[in-house]
Amino acid sequence: MKEKNIKSVSVFLISQIISLFGSSIVSYAIVWYITMKTSSTVALAVSIVCTYMPQILVSIFSGTWGDRYNKKYLIMIGDIITGISTLMLAVLFINGFDSLFFLYSIIILRSIGTGIQTPLENAFLPLICPEEKLTKVNGIYATATAAINILSPAIAGLLLNLIDFGYTLLIDCFTAVLAVIVLFKLKYKKTISFDERLGAASAFIEGVKYFKRHDFLGKLILFYLLFYFFMSAPAFLTPILVNLKFSDSVNALAINELVWSLGTMLGGLLICSFKELNKLKLMTYSSALFGAFICLLGTANKFILYIMFMLCSGIALPLFNTSNTILIQENVKEDMLGRVFANLNILSTVSTTIGIIIFGLIGSIISVDKLLILVGIFITLLSIWVWKIYRRNEEGNF
């Protein structure tokens, strides 16, 4: 396919990084605005529900749309929905209508845009990227995402100190327009056939059945979901551990988040440096290392040691995520990519949410450090399963 070239990939990455940067800044600004205005955990919980539930529901359809229509235009539509809805909120707040009802309504609309855009990014990439470049390109995107996670909170905080919340929202409107303009320059024509007789529900069910028919893919995704179920514990509980065990200062919590994001950026850069990569073997090693470092987080009795282990666990995570994404991109038929990544987005979000609820309840029964040790052990044991998948794949049993 003539669209598979580095120029197309570069245009796509630039557009999505621009879009992600603006959305990330505004997302932090929204969370902090709700926190400062209400000081209510209920208000924050409602915003989280408004952020994730619409995204899960629309992903049921966005995967089918992505396989049926042109993914490039759908990604642009997702960005446009996010930009227009944020502009509406900005206009309301600038004119004094600072209602939480309006804020939650726009969060829902932004979530719909994200639910269309996010699953299709990973599904679109293998259609324009040469297979031998997938590892490096995914690594670059992982690095950029981590860098954005480092910069966005600081920029959001700076903007909220300098200008009103309503004007801060305009950042996402500007980046959405810029991202759409850049992506529009990418030349891509849909050439993949789709069974038009399938309705949206039937096509979604067909995507779920695809997991069952593909033994290797089914095992890979099941492992991924279990990994994210357990990974939700350190993601949710490490700030609490820092607060209880080391320091209750804001600076300690900020260092915790900064070091984690720095680690994920280093992991992305490490992926980019690999010339040849056995993705299954890397999944095995990175999941084992991640589990080991989570265990060590629970055992650390000095903050400097804790931070070192946090950095190392941050490096291991993108190694796991990127290798898993590439394996899916390489092993799924092009006409199923949209549905597979949409379903994966739904399942991973649900798995993480369930994990947060369960580990949040368990964390009230046993100490957080002991819980992290147990979770780390489970994740390390899971890596043995991936090793068995790797051995079967090497022996040609899939």
> What is the pTM for the complete model shown?
0.77
Q: Determine the pLDDT at residue 312.
A: 93
**Chain centroid offset of residue 321 CA:** 9
Pairwise CA distance, residues 256 & 372, whole Å: 16
Pairwise CA distance, residues 291 & 69, whole Å: 40
CATH of the domain spanning 6-183, picked from 1.10.10.60, 3.40.50.12780, 1.10.10.10, 1.20.1250.20: 1.20.1250.20
Q: Determine the pLDDT at residue 118.
A: 83
Pairwise CA distance, residues 392 & 218, whole Å: 14
For residue 367, what is the DSSP state? -
- Mean pLDDT for 33-55 is 79
Cβ contacts of 266 within 8 Å, gap of 6 or more: 311, 314, 315
Q: Determine the pLDDT at residue 198.
A: 53
Q: How many CA atoms lie within 13 A of 213 on its CB side?
A: 11
Q: Determine the pLDDT at residue 305.
A: 93
pLDDT tens digits, one per residue of 110-158: 999 988 888 888 888 888 888 778 888 888 888 888 888 888 888 888 8
Q: How confident is the model at residue 309 (pLDDT cuts 50, 70, 90)?
A: very high
One-letter amino acid of 24:
S
If you average pLDDT over every residue of the chain, what do you get?
82
Q: How do the residues of the chain divide into helix, strand and coil, expressed in percent and rounded to 5?
A: 85, 0, 15
**Chain centroid offset of residue 252 CA:** 25
**Residue (of 70, 77, 76, 338) closest to 189 by Cα position:** 70
CATH of the domain spanning 208-394, picked from 3.80.10.10, 1.20.1250.20, 2.40.30.10, 3.40.50.510: 1.20.1250.20
- 249-258, 352-361, 362-371, range with the lowest pLDDT: 249-258
The structural domains of the chain, with segments of one domain joined by +, span: 6-183, 208-394
Q: Determine the pLDDT at residue 396.
A: 55
Q: How confident is the model at residue 1 (pLDDT cuts 50, 70, 90)?
A: very low
Q: How confident is the model at residue 193 (pLDDT cuts 50, 70, 90)?
A: low
| Alpha helices (H) in 279-302, listed in sequence order | 279-299
pLDDT tens digits, one per residue of 82-96: 999 999 999 999 998
Cβ contacts of 107 within 8 Å, gap of 6 or more: 30, 47, 50, 51
User: Are domains 6-183 and 208-394 of this chain identical in fold?
Assistant: yes
Is pLDDT of 311 > 90?
Answer: yes
For residue 185, what is the DSSP state? T
Pairwise CA distance, residues 279 & 103, whole Å: 42
pLDDT tens digits, one per residue of 313-357: 999 988 888 888 888 888 777 777 777 777 777 888 888 888 877
Q: Determine the pLDDT at residue 99.
A: 84
Contact 276, 379 (CB under 8 A): no
Contact 115, 56 (CB under 8 A): yes
Residue 248: Cβ-neighbour burial (10 angstroms; 0-12, 13-18, 19+) = exposed
- 1-5, 245-249, 292-296, range with the lowest pLDDT: 1-5
pLDDT above 90 covers a percentage of the chain that reads 21
Transcribe 209-253 into DSSP letters.
HHHHH-HHHHHHHHHHHHHHHHHHHHHHHHHHHIIIII--SHHHH
- Of 199 and 134, the one with more pLDDT: 134
Pairwise CA distance, residues 135 & 123, whole Å: 15
- Mean pLDDT for 19-28 is 90
Is pLDDT of 47 > 50?
Answer: yes
CB atoms within 10 A of CB 19: 29
Q: Determine the pLDDT at residue 240.
A: 79
**Residue (of 390, 388, 55, 381) closest to 226 by Cα position:** 381
Q: How confident is the model at residue 176 (pLDDT cuts 50, 70, 90)?
A: very high
Q: How confident is the model at residue 394 (pLDDT cuts 50, 70, 90)?
A: low
Cβ contacts of 28 within 8 Å, gap of 6 or more: 152, 153, 156, 157
Q: Determine the pLDDT at residue 185.
A: 85
Q: Is 314 helix (H, G, I), strand (E, B) or coil?
A: helix
Max Cα separation, the chain? 66
Contact 305, 313 (CB under 8 A): no
Pairwise CA distance, residues 238 & 251, whole Å: 14
State the sign of the Cα–Cα–Cα–Cα dihedral 347, 86, 137, 318: negative
Contact 83, 173 (CB under 8 A): yes
Is pLDDT of 398 > 50?
Answer: no
